[in-house]
Amino acid sequence: MNAAAPNPIGPIAVIGGTGPLGMGLALRWARAGETVILGSRDAGRAQQAAAAIQRAVGGEVNVSGMENAAACAAADILMLTVPFENQASLLKHLKPSITEGSILIDATVPLAASVGGRASRPLGIWQGSAAQQAAELVPKEVSVVAAFHNVSADLLGGDAALDCDVIVCSDDPDAGQLTRDLAAKIPGVRAIDGGKLENARIVEQITALLIGLNIRHKGHAGIRITGLPPQAYR
């Protein structure tokens, strides 16, 4: 356990956690002293990823790796970081393993790249957003939160503080607050209550815009919200 860890919130299961966003979030939360369980289709791959995070953080850290469903069963906070084309099938696979009262934090962005199009264009989703699709696929008592769409995975995977805000949308105020507390554990990140889950429609699409900016301007774009009073953050 990291000596500096204030008020751990986890354990957090990062489902589909061996991709860049999952690894980056796991790294930052492990550094903050959180217990993180990396999930992957392949348990061995999850364990290798966990070992890589342990090496990157150094010292004693609580990071382990498991098959996705086992990771899911081992935590009440589930962080979903998979490409949109895998979201629905994975949630159907996970459904029996999700424990009652769990919170699912969804960072899925429905990009046209999922169906052979461009990563700078969003797909239209019948439910309105990938997060609302997730809400339809999990057991009813699970609170779904949309967050972490607009954070650069590349920057998360590094050592420097970030320079961006995380807009958190949920119909469950407590789950939203917990997620904002988790976001604020990442140096340089401010968390903002973005209202109801339906607002994920816009937050998800912003990622497509940022990907376009990254392609055009060769960067790792994020967003900051300006013009709000200090108490709006977190």
Query: Which region, judged by CB under 8 A, interacts with a copy of itself, from 24-32, 90-98, 137-145, 225-233?
Result: 225-233
CA distance 166 to 191: 5
Burial of 165 (C-beta count, 10 Å sphere; 0-12/13-18/19+): buried
- Only one of the segments 70-78, 106-114, 138-146, 190-198 lies at the binding site for a copy of itself (rule: CB under 8 A); that segment is 190-198
CB of residue 126 to a copy of itself, shortest distance in Å = 13
* Cβ atoms of 111 and 105 closer than 8 Å: no
The one among 15, 57, 134, 167 contacting a copy of itself by CB under 8 A: 167
Q: What whole-number distance in Å separates Cα of residue 63 and Cα of residue 207?
A: 28
**Bridge pairing between strands 164-170 and 143-146:** antiparallel
Residue by residue, DSSP assigns 138-184 as S-TTPEEEE--TTS-HHHHTSSSPP-EEEEEEES-HHHHHHHHHHHT
- C-beta of 146: minimal distance to a copy of itself in Å? 12
Instruction: Sketch the per residue contact string, 59 through 88, with a copy of itself: x for CB under 8 A, - otherwise.
Output: ------------------------------
Q: Is 66 helix (H, G, I), strand (E, B) or coil?
A: strand
- Residue owning tokens 């046209």: 112
Amino acid at 224: R
Shorter beta-carbon distance to a copy of itself: residue 139 or 188: 188
Q: How far apart are the first and last CA of the chain?
A: 25
User: Is 11 or 212 the residue whose CB approaches a copy of itself more closely?
Assistant: 212
122 near a copy of itself (CB under 8 A): yes
Letters for 131-160 (x = contact with a copy of itself by CB under 8 A, - = none) are ---------------------x--x-----
Residue whose CB is less far from a copy of itself, 115 or 225: 225
Site for a copy of itself, rule CB under 8 A: 120-122, 152, 155, 163-164, 167, 192-195, 198-199, 201-203, 205-206, 208-210, 212-214, 216-229, 231-232
